[in-house]
Amino acid sequence: MVTRFLLLCSLAAVLGCGARVEVAKDKILAQVDSLLGEIDVKRKEVEIGIQNMGAGLDQLKKGKIEAKVKETQFSDKVAELEGKIADADKALGRLRDYLKENKDVTLSGKKFTPDQLKEMAETAISARKRLATEIESIKTARDRLAAVAASLEQRETEGRDKIKALKQTLEEIDAKAVALKSIKEASVLSGGEATLDFEKVEKQVKDLSTKIDTELVYHDEKAKEQTANELKSIDSVVRQTSTAGDAVSEIDKILGKK
């Protein structure tokens, strides 16, 4: 009778242990599956973030190239206008000599009185002043475009570094997924006793999730804050100097140039 009682107690103890093991195993498996699901979500978020950053970098690069091209065009225009100022200075030098003589002068087969020469000199002086003003305006625009191009280039470099960091984070995520799957397999085979440190891996996954969220939010906020404004500034500079061609044309007319 006693023997039978002891056998029943032993059987109950074994069954009880087995139930606890199964509960522990199910708990670990549920936690592992939950973390694996979170990893999948974060991985997708990183992939989308990298794609968005890549598209943003393409836009930044295009804006940088546009700014540099326009900067070069403005530099060429400055050189052109400086050449016209040099021509105006030569003409003014000749007119100065004619005016000092205070007598009629024949130029290109046409006679000019001192008053006509004086009027011609005043016109040339006015034209030269407008040329100088035009040059300063274009130089200012050119320098602003150079600053925009430099800023966009810096943003592009930062963006590429950010993408590199996110790709490294992807590798870390994949490594955590492998570790979690190993824990899952070990839990199944051992009946609940995982061979890897689940709590440590769980903390690492949480830390990675926080890191990813921070990086993506930071990128989104910075992109909204700077990219649009910097690209718009290119158009703004060009618009502000859009009258330059009209002014130059008017000066050309004054100087009699075609």
- Summarised one tens digit per residue, pLDDT across range 66-120 is 889 889 999 999 999 999 999 989 988 998 988 888 898 888 889 989 899 889 8
Angstrom CA distances, 134 to 7, 84, 222, 245, 254, stand at: 107, 12, 36, 10, 15
User: CA-to-CA distance for 121 and 111, rounded, in angstroms?
Assistant: 15
In the numeric block, the tokens 């009699």 are attached to 256
User: CA-to-CA distance for 249 and 67, rounded, in angstroms?
Assistant: 24
Contact in structure between 39 and 205 (CB atoms under 8 Å): yes
- Summarised one tens digit per residue, pLDDT across range 33-45 is 888 888 888 888 8
Domain ranges of the chain: 33-255
Using only the alpha carbons of the chain, give its radius of gyration.
39
Lowest mean pLDDT among 100-104, 164-168, 193-197: 193-197
pTM over 0.85: no
User: CA-to-CA distance for 99 and 250, rounded, in angstroms?
Assistant: 26
Contact in structure between 169 and 215 (CB atoms under 8 Å): yes
Let me know if domain 33-255 sits in CATH 1.20.1260: yes
In the numeric block, the tokens 């592992």 are attached to 32
User: CA-to-CA distance for 147 and 155, rounded, in angstroms?
Assistant: 12
Question: How far is residue 205 CA from its own chain's centroid?
Answer: 29
Q: Which two tokens stand for residue 11?
A: 């059987």
